[in-house]
Structure 1
Amino acid sequence: MDWKLELVSVPVSDVDRAKAFYTEQVGFHADHDHQVTDELRFVQLTPPGSACSIAIGTGLPQAAPGSVRGLQIVVADVAAARAELVERGVEVSDIEEFPWGNFAFFNDPDGNSWSLQQLPTWR
């Protein structure tokens, strides 16, 4: 049996600001934006080429905005991905090299933390 992670909730304080950050600056695709009720809005965003999406909105997660740490996106070329984010106005760390890959780190406007990982060639 396959088990596939397909959606991760990311708590944000301002849905429109977060949606703009993820789509316009980070380059995620906006899959859905649906106002279900006055208390529930569901926005699904997917990184290019990913089978897993994030959900932001109102009435979704019970966690505090900015409380998600360690979200990770695997890329083929961390330097190129970092350069693309910097060009779009995202504050991204310098590239750090570890035995398990090369990484660059950034936060969304609420402080949810992300990393870009380029896997090592031995893998």
Structure 2
Amino acid sequence: MDWTLEVVVLPVSDIDRAVEFYRDKVGFHLDHNTTNEHMHVVQLTPPGSGCSIVIGDLPSQREMAPGSMRGLQLVVSDARAAREELVGRGVDASEITVFDERDGGTFFGFSDPDGNTWAVQELKVRAEKPLIPLEARGRFGEE
């Protein structure tokens, strides 16, 4: 039996500001933005990912302090191109650090407006062997 990690709850102080950051600056897909008299919950997914982030105001989401999530990790096939893309959209990204010349040893990072931190790791192999094959995508309109 598979046990897949598909959602990570991310604590934020302003849902609309977080949506704008993750959708417009980081480039996550907006899967849904649900508001009713009981809740406001938003799900966003990085391109090519099987795992999404969820932000909102449900009681379980308010148990964590905004900005308290540390070291979430994204993987890209080209760290320099990814960093340039984020910086071009107004994200304050750290410089690239190469800890090891082998594939997987190159990183940079960024924070969201609340201070939740992200590491971005370069795995060049993902260009040839994506974690989710292109033909298996399309859940949210990805190509």
**TM-score, normalised on structure 2?**
0.80
* CA gap 1:30/1:120 in 2 versus in 1, 3 angstroms: closer
Q: How does 1:104-123 map to 2 (within 5 A)?
A: 104-119=108-123
Aligned residue identity for 1:49: G
Give the whole-Å Cα distance in 2 for the aligned partners of 1:120 and 1:20: 29
Cα RMSD between the aligned structures?
A: 1.3
Q: Which residue in 2 is equivalent to 1:6?
A: 6
Give the whole-Å Cα distance in 1 for the aligned partners of 2:11 and 2:84: 26
Q: Which residue in 2 is equivalent to 1:103?
A: 107
Give the whole-Å Cα distance in 1 for the aligned partners of 2:81 and 2:51: 21
Answer whether contact 2:12 2:55 (CA < 8 A) is retained: yes
Give the whole-Å Cα distance in 2 for the aligned partners of 1:120 and 1:73: 13
How far is 1:65 from its partner?
0.1
Higher helix fraction (1 or 2): 2
Q: Which residue in 2 is equivalent to 1:89?
A: 90
Q: Which residue in 1 is equivalent to 2:49?
A: 50
CA deviation profile, 1:40-97 (whole Å, cap 9, x unmatched): 2110000011110000011242100000000000000010000000000000000011
Give the whole-Å Cα distance in 2 for the aligned partners of 1:103 and 1:70: 12
Q: Structure 2: any 5+ residue segments left out of the alignment? A: 126-143
Higher strand fraction (1 or 2): 1
CA deviation profile, 1:16-54 (whole Å, cap 9, x unmatched): 00000000000000001101434x211000001111000
Structure 2 residue 77 is the aligned partner of structure 1 residue 76: yes
**TM-score, normalised on structure 1?**
0.92
After superposing on structure 2, the runs of 4+ consecutive aligned residues of structure 1 that deviate more than 4 Å are: none
